[in-house]
């Protein structure tokens, strides 16, 4: 069995899913599948009431693995897009409270992991937050697009998606991308504290209200997965951009 790139701890009914794919928790096909399986297993476990998602100190997740992405042919691009949609739909649809302990930079697919969570706590250490897909030359698959529309205000969503510029921590807090800040050595502890506080909410009521709130985007995500209607399938990365990136990677390898 391959080494896992995550670990799960459960204490006082708070489950913590630690992302551990060094150096930047970049998303690969295998990592997406691994996290989807882990969250699916957690969903059938009644020993916890809330879930915290945590990265390394200094980095939450840098998003898609940009060393691997250009090497993907169309078939592998389709697998990656489907894996993204499946993981985000899974995490976004968890019926119990979810909290992101954002230990540092959260970029592109990494920020979407945080946006899937119900509450987001970031470190006071300077960090970058952004949805940079347009600058890589790709459009947004259905799940991240739906999450951005639902979780970001319309002006912030427009700026993030169309221009792909990163913002700093204070701007992310002001714009509602994150909910609060904590000292770098307190982010995880604060997330766990908030998670325990949410246990005061009746579990059935929370699940029902969350389902009401997220029903429409989740239906669109799940329909795309079930019926194969994802527009990004069949060639997510423009071939010219892929070949250009491959040449850059080849040059770096030969340096």
- Extract the runs of DSSP E, i.e. beta strands, from 135-185: 180-182
Q: What percent of the chain has pLDDT over 70?
A: 96
Q: What is the pLDDT of residue 2?
A: 63
Overall average pLDDT of the 153-172 stretch: 97
CA angle 207, 212, 216 (to 5 degrees): 130
Is the pLDDT at 1 greater than 50? The verdict is: no
Cβ partners under 8 Å of residue 146, min gap 6: 217, 218, 220, 221
Average pLDDT, the chain: 94
Is the pLDDT at 220 greater than 50? The verdict is: yes
3-state secondary structure of 153: coil
CA angle 82, 70, 75 (to 5 degrees): 40
Overall average pLDDT of the 166-176 stretch: 98
pLDDT in tens, 43-74: 999 999 999 999 988 899 999 999 999 999 99
- Tell me the CA distances in angstroms from 20 to 39, 56, 140, 189, 210, one per residue in order: 15, 7, 25, 18, 28
Give 5's DSSP letter. Answer: S
Specify the CATH superfamily of domain 6-200.
2-enoyl-CoA Hydratase; Chain A, domain 1 (3.90.226.10)
pLDDT in tens, 79-133: 999 999 999 999 999 999 999 999 999 999 999 999 999 999 999 999 999 999 9
Q: Where are the domains of the chain?
A: 6-200
Lowest mean pLDDT, pick from 42-56, 137-151, 204-218, 233-247: 233-247
* Residue 201, number of CB atoms within 10 A of its CB: 15
Angle, to 10 degrees, between the axis of helix 74-92 and the axis of helix 203-227?
160
Q: What is the pLDDT of residue 231?
A: 95
Overall average pLDDT of the 198-224 stretch: 97
Q: What is the pLDDT of residue 240?
A: 84
Lowest mean pLDDT, pick from 37-46, 97-106, 215-224, 241-250: 241-250
């Amino acid at each position: 069995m391959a080494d896992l790139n995550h670990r799960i701890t459960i204490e006082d009914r708070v489950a913590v899913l630690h992302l551990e794919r060094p150096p930047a928790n970049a998303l690969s096909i295998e990592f997406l599948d691994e996290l989807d399986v882990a969250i699916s297993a957690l969903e059938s476990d009644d020993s916890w009431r809330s879930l915290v998602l945590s990265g390394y100190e200094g980095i939450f997740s840098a998003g898609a693995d940009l060393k691997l992405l250009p090497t993907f042919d169309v078939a592998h691009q389709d697998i990656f897009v489907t894996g993204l949609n499946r993981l985000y739909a899974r995490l976004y649809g968890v019926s119990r409270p979810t909290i992101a302990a954002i230990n540092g930079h959260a970029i592109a697919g990494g920020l979407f992991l945080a946006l899937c969570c119900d509450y987001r706590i970031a470190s006071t250490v300077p960090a970058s937050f952004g949805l940079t897909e347009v600058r890589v030359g790709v459009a947004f698959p259905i799940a991240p697009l739906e999450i951005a529309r639902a979780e970001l205000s319309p002006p912030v969503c427009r700026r993030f998606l169309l221009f792909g510029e990163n913002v700093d921590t204070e701007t992310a807090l002001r714009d509602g991308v994150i909910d609060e800040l904590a000292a770098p050595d307190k982010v995880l502890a604060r997330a766990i504290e908030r998670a325990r506080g949410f246990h005061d909410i009746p579990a059935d009521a929370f699940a029902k209200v969350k389902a009401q709130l997220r029903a429409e985007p989740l239906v669109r995500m799940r329909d795309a997965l079930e019926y194969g209607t994802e527009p990004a399938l069949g060639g997510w990365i423009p071939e010219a951009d892929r070949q250009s990136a491959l040449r850059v990677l080849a040059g770096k390898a030969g340096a």
